[in-house]
Amino acid sequence: MEKENKFEGKIIIFTAPSGSGKTTIVRHLLKKYEFLGFSVSATSRKKRPKEIDGKDYYFLTPEKFQKKVDQDAFVEWEEVYPDKFYGTLKSEIERVWSKNKHVVFDIEVKGATNIKELYPDNSLAVFICPPSISELRRRLTNRKTETESSLKKRLDRAKEEMTYENKFDKVIINDLLEVALEEAEQIIESFCIN
């Protein structure tokens, strides 16, 4: 009788302060490598233009999000800003692994540390760092999605999140995007292929 070949899924966690470029890097990697699958996070924040429910995020009301918390449906979750929750549904990891793909996360810093603690043996956590806070401010301002108040909150949070940098397996400083993408590719190939 032949032994069944069960897929051993890995977890690759990308995290960064908002505006550091992690989503751009993750999208690039997902296009380049067919063996990667994206873990769609759930959030209670409002949908931005061009975002698609179930593709970019699962958009939930704060009440629906809390109900899923009560049902123990999350691997991790965090109230990032008042009434703005983000989390990873347990069903997402299983969905991606069932397709024989490694799971890629694009999540906030505390959630990333939680997932790394839950899956210490088969995960890799990558911190994307902006070159400076002033550059981060410029990037967030150019998005044109922030009010002066929300920009201040994001920058204050970014300063705190940058103190977590040494808790991650790899750090990429996203100064020049082409260089950051190349570094991310090398990290993925080393972790998933070699």
Work out whether the CA dihedral 67, 42, 147, 112 comes out positive or negative: positive
Band (147; pLDDT cuts 50, 70, 90): confident
Q: Is there a domain that residue 73 lies in?
A: yes
Q: What is the pLDDT of residue 85?
A: 93
Query: Cα 122 to the chain's mean position, in Å?
Result: 16
**Which one, of 61, 65, 41, lies nearest residue 51 by Cα?**
41
* Digit-coded pLDDT (tens) for 47-89: 988 899 999 899 999 999 999 999 999 999 988 878 889 999 9
User: Is the separation of the CB atoms in 120 and 102 below 8 Å?
Assistant: no
Asked if the model's pLDDT at residue 14 lies above 80, the reply is yes
Mean pLDDT of 134-141: 84
User: What's the pTM?
Assistant: 0.84
The answer, yes or no, to whether residue 1 has pLDDT greater than 80, is no
The pLDDT of 23-29, averaged and rounded, is 95
pLDDT of residue 194: 65
Integer CA distances (angstroms), 127 to 3, 17, 155, 183, in order: 38, 9, 17, 12
Per the domain annotation, does 6 fall within a domain? no
CB contact at 8 A, 44 and 65: yes
How many other C-beta atoms lie within 10 A of the C-beta of residue 47? 12
User: pLDDT digits over 162-191, tens only?
Assistant: 888 889 999 999 999 999 999 999 999 999
Q: Give the chain's domain count.
A: 1
Phi, then psi, of 80 in degrees rounded to 5: -75, -45
Query: Is residue 138 in a domain?
Result: yes
Decide: 19 and 125 in contact? Cβ < 8 Å: no
Q: Kindly state whether residue 54 falls inside one of the protein's structural domains.
A: yes
Mean pLDDT score, 31-58: 94
In a domain, 149, yes or no: yes
Does residue 98 lie within any of the structural domains?
yes
CA dist 7 → 75, 97, 100, 148, 171 (Å): 20, 8, 6, 47, 28
Q: Does residue 91 form part of some domain?
A: yes
Write down the pLDDT at residue 17. 86
Q: Which residues span the domain enclosing 152? A: 11-192
CATH code assigned at 137: 3.40.50.300
Say if residue 5's pLDDT is above 60.
no
pLDDT at residue number 9: 92
Please give the share of the chain, as a percent, with pLDDT higher than 70.
96
How far, in Å, CA of 90 to CA of 53, rounded?
Answer: 18
**DSSP per-residue codes, 114-178:** HHHHHSSSSEEEEEEE-S-HHHHHHHHHHHT---HHHHHHHHHHHHHHGGGGGGSSEEEE-SSHH
The CA-CA-CA angle for residues 131, 76, 12, to 5°, reads 50
Q: Is residue 134 domain-resident? A: yes
